[in-house]
Structure 1
Amino acid sequence: MPWEASRLNKLLRAEISAVETYQQALDKLRGEPQTGELQQIASICEDHRDSANKLRERILQQGGRPTEDSGAWGSWSKMVMGAVKLLGDKAALTALRQGEENGIEDYQEALQEADMPSDIRNLIQTTLLPRQQQHLNVLNKFIGSA
């Protein structure tokens, strides 16, 4: 498997984990009144789903096989989200924020690779990383008002 496909699979696992984590948060919030916060959380979840799909496409283009699960990140996020259900919304938002910060670090680290193809670098710089940063801003606003 080319370097790019294996590196992209690492990023894909993080995106799959983000989808799973946001889905858990949405499931927790579903019984509550519809709010702008719930709609924005759902939108962030969809962004992560779309990011995962874009990474899958690139992996296939590289001749690789996209991972189908979130691996260790997914197990960690399930454990964290299970614990925060007991602690309330602010703890859940803080856990989601930590995931976004980790995603930003993963993308920034990937951009340090000199042999990354330009189309993948462009995808990360123009779409995937800015989304993560936007998600972080949204979550910071929620946490500030919680």
Structure 2
Amino acid sequence: MAEMKRQQNLGESTHLQPIYAAHKNAVSSFQALIHRLGGIPCEDSGAWGTWAKIVLEGANILGKKVALKTLLEGEKSGAKDYEKVLQDAELSSDVRALIETKLLPEQQSHIRTLDRLLDTAPE
């Protein structure tokens, strides 16, 4: 009997795994900063994290292009959120540095990666 090759889940994509890892690192960075500032960080991924997981798991049903477009919009929204936060004159220097030197550049890299994947994704 011939073995059937399992179709790769979009969430297992070698191109998306680094984005997932960067988001996990961003969460860890924020949690550590919140602890250092005396706060108690949130432990869940929030609405967007839940939505992203659903999109990745449903990519075979939705189609990879639709899933990638949805993820791209989420990344763009996140970048806009970071840019908006950076406009706050009262933002602590620790938070500003984290966003400017790490989080926003990573977000912009994710956008470029997803744009490239969309250009090559089948309809």
TM range (shorter): 0.7 to 0.9
- The whole-number CA distance in structure 1 between the counterparts of 2:110 and 2:71 is 9
2:116 matched to which residue of 1? 141
- Equivalent of 1:116 in 85, 91, 114: 91
Higher relative helix content: 1
Structure 1 residue runs of 5 or longer lacking an equivalent are 1-30
1:69 matches 2:39: no
Instruction: Give the drift of 1:77.
Output: 3.9
1:90 matched to which residue of 2? 65
Structure 2 residue runs of 5 or longer lacking an equivalent are 1-5
CA contact (8 A) 1:100 1:132 kept: yes
CA contact (8 A) 1:47 1:131 kept: yes
- Equivalent of 1:54 in 9, 20, 29: 29
2:15 is matched by which residue type in structure 1?
Answer: Q
- The whole-number CA distance in structure 1 between the counterparts of 2:15 and 2:57 is 21
2:105 is matched by which residue type in structure 1?
Answer: P
1:43 matched to which residue of 2? 18
1:130 is matched by which residue type in structure 2?
Answer: P
CA contact (8 A) 2:75 2:107 kept: yes
Seq. identity, %: 39
2:26 is matched by which residue type in structure 1?
Answer: S
State the number of aligned residues.
114
SS of aligned partner of 2:61: coil
Q: For 1:17-28, what aligned pairs fall within 5 Å after superposition?
A: none
